[in-house]
């Protein structure tokens, strides 16, 4: 929709540039072979996506919600939530998890789908609004600078993952480990139960 003609500080141009940048990171991840290179890309993408989510949720979405309509906006909210859970689980550099690459791949697929829907449905509809998109864009750029300087606030998804006491893992990964490392049943005390020690018997 001729976004290439929009000024750099136009709100929609800013969002589309963010989209392009993060898709480039996803492409680089697919080509990366070394763990260190992959980890660097994950860190860059996670930071970019966290900032992008704040800009959309705090500034852009509230501005366009009424015009775009609740169905499109509610889907966008839920897509953000799903992505942010994966982001929170990935936001732990150095974590030993054989599902880490798979988790980032799923995040990339989810975000690519979200971007496609935004650019095909939400942004064209939002662009119909008679508002100062450059002033809105300046607000977004200023907020981005603030986030980069002062840090990104902890969101509900990070709090939820943290509440799991660092066990930020998918049920599939946990189940895989249980199958791979079954506990040896106790020699006495029944099938799959632990035998009581003397101190436990009353």
If one compares 125 and 4, the residue with the highest pLDDT of the two is: 125
Q: How do the domains of the chain map onto residue ranges? A: 3-180
* pLDDT (average), residues 144-150: 97
Q: Which residue has the tokens 């929709």?
A: 1
Instruction: Give the pLDDT band (50/70/90) at residue 195.
Output: very low
Q: What is the pLDDT of residue 136?
A: 98
Predicted pLDDT at 153: 95
In the CATH scheme, what is the code of domain 3-180? 1.20.120
DSSP for 112-149, written as a single string: HHHHHHIIIIIHHHHTTS-S-HHHHHHHHHHHHHHHHH
Residue 25 is predicted with a pLDDT of: 98
What's the DSSP call for residue 5?
A: G
Mean pLDDT score of the chain, rounded to an integer?
85
Would you place residue 164 in the very low, low, confident or very high pLDDT band (cuts 50, 70, 90)?
confident
Inform me whether the pLDDT recorded for 173 exceeds 60. Answer: no
DSSP string, 154-197: P-HHHHHHHHTTT----HHHHHHHHHHSPPPPPSSSSTT-PPPP
pLDDT at 199: 40
Give the pLDDT mean for 28-51. 96
What digits encode the pLDDT tens for the residues 77-128? 999 999 999 999 999 765 556 689 999 999 999 999 999 999 999 999 999 9
pLDDT over 80 (residue 54): yes
Q: Which of the pair, 180 or 149, is modelled with greater confidence?
A: 149
Question: Given pLDDT bands bounded at 50, 70 and 90, which one contains residue 3?
Answer: low
What is the predicted pLDDT for the residue at 92?
Answer: 73
Q: What integer pLDDT is reported at residue 198 of this predicted model?
A: 41
What distance in Å separates the CA atoms of residue 2 and residue 46, rounded to the nearest whole number? Answer: 29
The pLDDT, as a whole number, for residue 200 is 42
Give pTM, 2 decimals: 0.80
Query: Positive or negative CA dihedral for 170, 168, 29, 45?
Result: positive
Average pLDDT over residues 135-139: 98
Residue 135 scores a pLDDT above 90: yes
């Amino acid at each position: 929709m001729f976004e290439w003609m929009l000024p750099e500080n136009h709100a929609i141009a800013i969002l589309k540039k963010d989209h392009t940048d993060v898709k480039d990171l996803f492409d680089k991840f697919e080509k990366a072979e070394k763990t260190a290179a992959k980890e660097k890309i994950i860190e860059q993408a996670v930071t970019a996506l966290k900032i992008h989510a704040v800009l959309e949720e705090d500034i852009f979405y509230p501005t366009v919600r009424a015009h775009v309509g609740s169905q499109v906006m509610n889907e966008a909210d839920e897509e953000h939530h799903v992505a942010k859970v994966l982001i929170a689980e990935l936001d732990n550099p150095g974590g030993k998890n054989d599902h880490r690459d798979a988790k980032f791949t799923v995040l990339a697929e989810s975000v690519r789908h979200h971007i496609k829907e935004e650019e095909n449905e939400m942004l064209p509809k939002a662009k119909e609004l008679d508002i100062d998109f450059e002033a809105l864009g300046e607000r977004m750029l200023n907020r981005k600078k603030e986030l980069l300087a002062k840090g990104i606030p902890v969101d509900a998804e990070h709090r939820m993952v943290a509440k799991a006491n660092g066990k930020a893992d998918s049920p599939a990964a946990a189940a895989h480990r249980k199958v791979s490392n079954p506990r040896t049943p106790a020699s006495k005390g029944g099938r799959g139960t632990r035998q009581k020690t003397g101190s436990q018997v009353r």
